[in-house]
Amino acid sequence: MRLRRRRAITSMEGKRYSVSGPKGLPFIGFAKQALQSPLQMTLELSQNYGDIIPLTVMGQRVIQLNHPDLIRYVLVDNHKNYKKSSPYIRFESVLGKGLFTSEGEKWRRDQQKIQPMFKREQLEGYYFDVMDEIVEKFKRRWFGLIAAGDGRINITSEMADITLEIVAKLVFGRHHITDQMVADIHHAYDVFMDYLKNVRLFPTLDLRKAFRMPSYGVFSRELAGMKTLFTELLTRCKKGGQEDRLNMMALLVEAQKSDPEHFTDEDILDQCFTVIFAGFESTSILMQWMWKALDERPDVKEKIRQDIRQHAPYLFAQAGGEFCHQDLSRMDYLTAFFHESTRLYPPFWITGRQPINDDWLGDYRVKKGTVIVLPHFAMHRHPRYWKDPNALIPERFLPLADVAYDAGIFFPFSHGPRKCSGNKLTEMEAKIVFAKLLPLFDALILNSALNGPQGGISLKPAQPLRAELRRCAAP
- pLDDT tens readout for residues 227-243: 999 999 999 999 876 56
- In this model, does residue 13 exceed pLDDT 70? no
Q: What is the mean pLDDT of residues 244-260?
A: 92
Is 471 in contact with 441 (CB distance < 8 Å)? yes
The secondary structure of 405-446 as a DSSP string is --TTT--BTB-GGGS-TTHHHHHHHHHHHHHHHTTTEEEEES
List the one residue out of 246, 237, 240 whose CA is nearest residue 128. 246
Is 253 in contact with 238 (CB distance < 8 Å)? yes
For residue 293, the one-letter residue type is A
- In this model, does residue 402 exceed pLDDT 80? no
Q: What is the pLDDT of residue 371?
A: 95
Q: What is the pLDDT of residue 241?
A: 62
For all residues of the chain together, what is the average pLDDT? 92
- In this model, does residue 173 exceed pLDDT 70? yes
Q: What is the mean pLDDT of residues 401-408?
A: 75
The CATH number that applies at residue 242 is: 1.10.630.10
Q: What is the mean pLDDT of residues 147-153?
A: 95
Q: What is the pTM of this model?
A: 0.94
Q: What is the pLDDT of residue 199?
A: 61
- Which run of H or E residues covers position 162? helix 155-172
The secondary structure of 447-458 as a DSSP string is SGGG--EEESSS
CA 266 to chain centre: 24
- Burial of 270 (C-beta count, 10 Å sphere; 0-12/13-18/19+): buried
- In this model, does residue 3 exceed pLDDT 80? no
Q: Is 352 helix (H, G, I), strand (E, B) or coil?
A: strand
What digits encode the pLDDT tens for the residues 182-200? Answer: 999 999 999 999 988 876 6
Q: What is the pLDDT of residue 200?
A: 60
Residue 127 lies in a domain: yes
pLDDT band at 30 (very low <50, low <70, confident <90, very high): confident
Q: What is the pLDDT of residue 7?
A: 46
Residue 1 lies in a domain: no
Q: What's the Rg (C-alpha) of the chain? A: 22
pLDDT band at 248 (very low <50, low <70, confident <90, very high): very high
Q: What is the pLDDT of residue 204?
A: 73
- In this model, does residue 475 exceed pLDDT 80? no
For the chain, the domain total comes to 1
What digits encode the pLDDT tens for the residues 407-460? Answer: 799 999 999 999 999 999 999 999 999 999 999 999 999 999 889 999 988 999
Cross-strand partners of 438: none
Residue 283 lies in a domain: yes
**Could you give the C-alpha distances from 309 to 306, 312, 427, in angstroms and in order?**
5, 5, 20
pLDDT band at 5 (very low <50, low <70, confident <90, very high): very low
- Which run of H or E residues covers position 223? helix 214-239
Share of the chain above pLDDT 90, in %: 80
Q: What is the pLDDT of residue 14?
A: 66
Domain that holds residue 203: 31-471
Residue 403 lies in a domain: yes
Residue 8 lies in a domain: no
Output phi, psi for 120, to 5 deg: -60, -45
What digits encode the pLDDT tens for the residues 319-377? Answer: 888 999 999 999 999 999 999 999 999 999 999 999 999 999 999 999 999 999 999 99
State how far the Cα of 396 lies from the Cα of 404, in Å rounded to an integer.
11
Residue 226's Cβ-side half-sphere holds a number of Cα atoms within 13 Å equal to 29
